[in-house]
Structure 1
Amino acid sequence: MTAVSPDARAIWRAARAPLAITALVLLGGIVLALATGGTSRGELDPESAAPTGSRALAALLRNQGVDVVVAATFDDALAAAPGSTVLVTAGGTVRPERLADLRDRAAESVLIAPGQPALDRVLPAVRTYGGPDAAVHAPNCSLPAAAAAGDALTGGQRFLADSRVTTCYGGSVASVRDAHPATLLGDGVALTNQHLGENGNAALAMRLLGARPRLVWYLPVPGDPAFAEGRETITGLLPDGWVFGGVQLAVAAVVFALWRARRLGPVVTEPLPVVVRAAETTEGRARLYRRSGAAGHAAAILREAAVARLATALSMSGDAGPAAVIAAVSVRSGLTAAEISQLLYGEGVRGDADLVRLADDLDALEERIRRS
């Protein structure tokens, strides 16, 4: 008997190519994550040099003597807030009650896209609604920082308020000057590396964030106790490099599956270890017929085989019809046509006894034909 099961060497030869591809993809994802980890930290990150980061603005503020403190958690921001300007880069992701505590502790607050639940706790007189994409707007207000900066790139959320709140740039900037001054920005596009040098974006950002000796730059992230419930997502918790690596692995798996699906190869034949005698096959089939009660089907097979042998013995063609067979057998055997018709083409049998009787009668008929 020929062995067809693969051995360890065959398995290794078949698996080494996909294993090498997987290792290369993993290595590429790790290298990419390490290479981009220092420059693609996140949107409005003061340590990120990516287009959506804010390293350029943080550098300008430090050059003007402002102490920029990056707060990784809400507790860090709250501890550094007294006497400082506090920038919250994603106000809508902080629990409203914690955001109110932060504003009460800070000397001045700048909130980007705070959302209505946060405004209900921090500035109840202000309502917000979605606005168009960022575009260049004129200030059209009396806010000193906006008037000095001139046209700037603003958009995102828009704010509605009473006369106690100053709105600028088509409503995408709002400011309230009370015991704890606060400024609301519809989005932070003007603070990013990509757009800081355009129009009056840098002047507006410097005046809003550099009015005090210290700026607390708070970046809310998932895992922070102050992070709003229901906003954590699996993809948000994963670094960008890992997400990209996972997509690469999925694509590689699909390509590998398609590649291997076209390499099924020819059918492998295997010699039988023993020879099965024809008699054993016949007996096995007979037992199956008896077990299933198929006496009628067995009788039809016996009659068909007997007719074929009789036709050969009488030198008849294989396509001879029942009438011709009956006539020829009747002449040679001496039996009547009715007897031959009933024996070769009659009704089905009702049980094993009738089947045995039919087999004996067919054998007797064939023996008579051979002797005649």
Structure 2
Amino acid sequence: MSAVARWRRTGLWVLAVLVGIASLAAIAIATTPPGEAMDPDDVGPAGGAALVAVLEANGVDVETHTSIDEVRAALAARDDDTSVVVANTSNLGTAAATTLRQESLGVDRIVVLSPSTSQLRALRADATALPIGAGVRVESRCDIGTVDEGDSIIGIDARYEPGNGSTGARVCFPLTVPADDGEGGDEEGEHGAGLLDLPSSPAHPPMTIVGTTTGFTNGVITEEHNAAIALRLLGASTRLLWYQPAVTDLVDSDGEAEDGALLPAWFAPALALVAFSLVVLALVRGRRLGRLVREPLPVVVRAVETTESRGRLYRRAQDRTRAAAVLRLATLDRLRTRLGLRRSDSVETVARAISAATGRPVSEVLDLVAGPHPTDDAALVRLAQDLSDLEEKAHRP
């Protein structure tokens, strides 16, 4: 095998291994359960067990639910002092959000962490979500009871703008960027807020929208004023329904997943990349380079060398049976040609023709061309000599 062929084969194997690793990684990531942030039972950095423990230590009865059906049953049996928090909206489908809005009318407050615009519409909240892409630290610049002037929070990753019809909406934690005032100086322009407080309406109860999920997790809750803000938002009622939607709540009322939400956004491109890689691999492995080109050998190889090499291999393997069969078959083929017989003629027919050409009995000829196999090297040599003698005599009719 030439060096180019070896490198080509090595490259193909490396490509196949990389495609396999990429496929396994995509499967592993795709099967990672979503919505783990703010899990009330998780004591890791992404969980919400610390906040639950502090709420319960302050006299709040925290009930955790993972499906909208459980929340509906809990709200049906609620008392007059109940709040609801949607701690992770990753698995909150619009059908579940609509049901939550309908069933939560009359509760003290509903708090939603990092909802999307479609989820806000299902909750009948007149606001628009504008993702930031990274958690930032923001100061409150408001005093609305649950948030004091001068409070700061870290982990804001979404901003919200109230709609024109949102009367009485209060904003906190405004996100500002420098803006040119037209006279060479810079002023700060507001571009949404990290917290939006909406008063009750016929469509929904009092609602607080907070643009953070990671800010209230175990790993960040003790930083800045995150813990105090969380306690004021969630600890105002003696009973708190902690809604941690499971993946089943992504399914809409018709039984179909919304916008392919069961799969991450990168899954389709990753699948297409893997499929393209497999097609390229198949083309590389199966391509044709055209007709073979004859090339003279650099040396002259005698034909007898092939026969001698095969003989040495048979001798080294002590395969007398195979060697004898090769000798007999070659003799029969040559004698068929010399005696004008067909290749499909049986051994008995060939033996009778050889007997007629050499004068030997048919039984003796059959013993040579189809008899027992030699048991030692001497017998194999005698068989080869006898076959050669038989072939020579067949020239004389």
TM-score by structure 1 length?
A: 0.48
TM-score by structure 2 length?
A: 0.45
Structure with the higher fraction of residues in helix conformation: 1
Structure with the higher fraction of residues in strand conformation: 2
The structure having more radius of gyration, on CA atoms, is: 1
